[in-house]
Structure 1
Amino acid sequence: MRTAGRREAPGESVAGRTQARWDRKEPGHGIPESGRPGRPAGEEQRQSYRPLWVEEPARRHPTPDPVRAAVVRAVLVIAVTLIQAMVAFLCTLAGSWAAFPMVISSVASTVVATWAVVDVWVTRQVWSQRYGVVSEPSSTARALRRERRARRRQERAALREQERIRRTGGAGRLSHS
């Protein structure tokens, strides 16, 4: 995301820029044109609207929903684990009775946070395996399949031809055996 640079007139004041922005944002916000402070009636706006940033297309596709949900879970669990570890450390420094339970819960939270990170990895792999891989057969496999289909087509055509001959009762044959 790039920010669009602003060019200002050298003698322009902050109040003037703020008023111009206010006027540009809400052109008729309840105060008549002639009654607006710092702006004479009928004056044209000197500055044109410039966006704060320019949208650029994403280079990669966004993360799929199941993976995004796993990432959010993992971030929340890791944040809670870090807070617990900090509280355990501070309780230990203060010599509080809550230090031991907090250390034990921090160890348990570390295990859960590790599981959450592994869950993100597994969810991503599963999603990629199910939806993300476009499988294209190699040229040799395609050629072999084409040959098999042609052979089957010929066999079916030969069977249809024999069925047709049987239905007609042998008419069209040179000899009746």
Structure 2
Amino acid sequence: MTVVSAPAPSHASAPQRSAAVTTAASVGREYLTFRLGAEEYGIDILRVQEIRSYEPPTRLAHSPDFIRGVINLRGRIVPILDLRVKLQCPEASYTDFTVVVILDIGATVIGAVVDAVADVVTLTPDVIKPTPQFERQGHVDPAFVTGIASLGERMLIVMDIEALLSSDEIGLVTKATPE
């Protein structure tokens, strides 16, 4: 597990710096990191129920391209969404590293196909920077991206998986919070 926190200001004494880093690390959240094409993404680890190897699901007629079908997960029918197709990755090929991340979002369980799972990292709010604002083009709503985190040489796109799965286009999860 990697813990990332911002350096303490240089004017703080050694004990103050140590306390600042400890406090910052203690308010960090854990994210599961995974690859989609050349990019690395992170989602809240509290949404992850399990990680399974990819097995072809049962296809549903007239479903969107990014819905691969359904699987029977211990008696529960779970829709399988291919995030690579949904987020328009240039290639969505299935390899030995392709996995399905089973996500538990309230009363809804869904499987998300990703190229590979990397690791779990702890990020503090100060490490996650806002995403650049671009005019919306294509099918990817910038509301699904909560920020970008730099982890050494790695750039991690932090996603709000619940917002993605709640979108009108997918409609798999309905927000539990009143509007």
**TM-score after normalising by structure 2:** 0.16
Q: Which has the higher contact order (CA 8 A, sep 6+)?
A: 2
- The structure with more strand, counted as a fraction of residues: 2
